[in-house]
Amino acid sequence: MTSTNIQTPIGSLMRDWRLRRRVSQLDLAIEADVSARHLSFIETGRSVPSRAMVLRLAEALEVPLRDQNQLLLAAGLAPAYAERTIDDPEMAGVRDGVAQVLDAYHPFPCVVVDRTWNLLQANAGTALMLQNVAAHLLDRPNALRITLHPEGMAPRIRNLAEWRHHLITRLRREVTVSGSAELAHLLAEIESYPGGMEPVRDLGGVAVPLELTADDGTVLTFLSTVTTFGTALDLTAAELSIEAFLPADARTAAALRQRSGQTT
């Protein structure tokens, strides 16, 4: 028995992305500076778009780079963006940049994740966050599983319902923007974990804090910040996120520095 891989037509894919973005044909045509008639012909398969047209429409719809490649392939064109492994010699600049960011944040926790939240790298300060995390969660570590699984960090997160609300809302947004089946499956799994969902109580704050109890009972409060490679032309680099957890108060900063042996 053999199976046939049927390629979804470019017109159908383009229409799916337009509907996902909730944009009308006319609005997209105006944004991409093309005629609405030509766009209609593309979506119905009466016209095959050029490479430049695919990329222009994809940019207007804010299609992720990985999916831009799929659009090009569906149009019978070569993909625009390469995908190298992080160990590839041509990725040396990316590796060096990531290492510098991780080192710069020490002793504050900082992690590197890919597009599905798999944990790729972490600095020494992250060890504090991984205390008492079950071994099976570290075999193929995923940042969301480690954080919200009942055998992960969840029992030590004092504001778990708030932090769950923050992360799940963020993940839902990523699922909507990307249309990724992998992220959708991850979302369903994360939503099944216990812990509740509670919007931030004090909307006067500057950001959602992470309140984590350390092994000695100290409550550490963090604010997170995310760094990405905004001009990346490689899929691996474009899909990397570096998330740092900065102390939200002087007590947390002092505790982290003391644990790392720093005196200032």
The CATH number that applies at residue 205 is 3.30.450.180
Within a domain: 127: yes
Within a domain: 82: no
Which domain, by its residues, includes 46?
A: 10-74
Within a domain: 140: yes
Within a domain: 94: yes
| Predicted confidence (pLDDT) per residue in 36-72, tens digit | 999 999 999 999 999 999 999 999 999 999 999 999 9
> What mean pLDDT is predicted for residues 185-197?
94
Q: Are residues 105 and 223 in the same domain?
A: yes
Within a domain: 128: yes
Within a domain: 3: no
Q: Are residues 138 and 197 in the same domain?
A: yes
Other CB atoms within 10 A of residue 248 CB: 19
| Confidence (pLDDT) at 232 | 80
Cα(132)–Cα(20) distance, integer angstroms = 41
| Predicted confidence (pLDDT) per residue in 210-263, tens digit | 999 998 899 999 999 999 987 788 999 999 999 999 999 999 999 999 988 765
| Widest distance between CA atoms in the chain | 69
Q: Are residues 105 and 233 in the same domain?
A: yes
Q: Are residues 18 and 147 in the same domain?
A: no
Residues 15, 21, 25, 29: is their CA dihedral positive or negative? negative
| Number of helices and strands in the chain (H, E) | 12, 5
Q: Are residues 28 and 112 in the same domain?
A: no
Given a cut of 70, is residue 2 above it in pLDDT? Answer: no
Within a domain: 1: no
| Confidence (pLDDT) at 215 | 87
What is the band of 161 on the pLDDT scale with cuts at 50, 70, 90?
very high
pTM equals 0.85
Beta strands in the chain (DSSP E): 110-113, 119-122, 210-213, 219-228, 241-247
Q: Are residues 206 and 103 in the same domain?
A: yes
What is the band of 134 on the pLDDT scale with cuts at 50, 70, 90?
very high
Q: Are residues 139 and 241 in the same domain?
A: yes
131 Cβ contact partners less than 8 Å away, ≥ 6 residues apart: 156, 214, 215
Sheet holding 110-113, edge to edge: 119-122, 110-113, 241-247, 219-228, 210-213
Within a domain: 148: yes
Domains held by the chain: number: 2
Q: Are residues 182 and 129 in the same domain?
A: yes
What is the band of 5 on the pLDDT scale with cuts at 50, 70, 90?
very low
The last residue of one of the domains, among 74, 101, 123, is: 74
Cα(252)–Cα(259) distance, integer angstroms = 11
Tell me the pLDDT of the chain averaged across its residues.
92
| Confidence (pLDDT) at 3 | 39
Pairing of strands 210-213, 119-122: unpaired
| Confidence (pLDDT) at 181 | 93
Q: Are residues 145 and 175 in the same domain?
A: yes
